[in-house]
């Protein structure tokens, strides 16, 4: 594994509670991503919660979902305004939202994009750590559709080290039929391999 990825995973996996905010568009599966990781964490003996942020959203409109994973009981029941990690399922959202808003010091943003980190920094002024993966390409090649929710889970697992990809197998198989589940697991593992931390 890349030393930068190892360092990120060590930092995040040693936190008592990890807070993640997902940014996506309606229909892309941001809420499903948060739920699947929460279920996997609970299966592994951790405490976890996921929640959507819904308003009058429609398919294609920006949406958020939240995930907390902890070694101790979670008493918070609020949206996450100061995340440790932000996962951006659709790189186009960078044009319309400040996805870095409220990011904790030392936090990281994982972006579905083909753009290099230097270009992202220049274009959007990011000063935090960045991780990138071309989740659209992986999803199209493996799933046949550009739905990146399970693909981006691979990136999240790689940079945080909160769970091994194997932990997501049961929740994904429970959520989807066998054929679709196997493709989603494959897409997640491919993104796990290909996510790059600056």
What ranges do the domains of the chain cover?
Answer: 3-197
- pLDDT value of residue 62: 87
Q: Give 100-105 contacts, CB < 8 A, sequence gap 24+.
A: 100/124, 100/126, 100/128, 103/128, 104/19
Residue with tokens 């568009």: 25
Environment class of 2 (CB within 10 Å of its CB; exposed 0-12, middle 13-18, buried 19+): exposed
Return the number of other C-beta atoms located less than 10 Å from residue 32's C-beta: 23
3-197, what's its fold? Pyruvate-ferredoxin Oxidoreductase; domain 3 (3.40.920)
Per-10-residue mean pLDDT of the chain, 198 residues long, equals 64 80 92 97 96 70 93 92 97 95 96 96 95 97 94 97 96 96 98 95
Using alpha carbons, list the distances in angstroms from residue 183 to 23, 41, 61, 169: 23, 21, 26, 11
């Amino acid at each position: 594994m890349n030393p930068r990825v190892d360092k990120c995973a060590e930092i995040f996996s040693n936190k008592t509670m990890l807070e993640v905010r997902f940014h996506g568009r309606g229909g892309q599966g941001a809420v499903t991503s948060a739920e699947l990781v929460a279920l996997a964490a609970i299966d592994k003996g951790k405490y976890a919660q996921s929640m959507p942020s819904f308003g009058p959203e429609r398919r294609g409109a920006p949406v958020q979902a939240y995930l907390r994973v902890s070694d101790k009981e979670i008493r918070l029941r609020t949206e996450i305004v100061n995340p440790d990690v932000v996962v951006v399922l659709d790189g186009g959202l960078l044009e319309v939202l400040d996805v870095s808003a409220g990011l904790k010091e030392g936090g990281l943003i994982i972006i579905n994009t083909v753009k290099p980190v230097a270009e992202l920094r220049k274009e959007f002024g990011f000063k935090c750590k960045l991780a990138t993966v071309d989740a659209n390409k992986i999803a199209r090649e493996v799933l046949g559709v550009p739905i990146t929710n399970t693909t981006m889970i691979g990136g999240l697992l790689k940079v945080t080290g909160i769970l091994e990809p194997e932990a997501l197998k049961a929740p994904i198989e429970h959520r989807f039929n066998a054929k679709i589940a196997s493709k989603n697991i494959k897409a997640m593992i491919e993104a796990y391999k290909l996510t790059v931390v600056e």
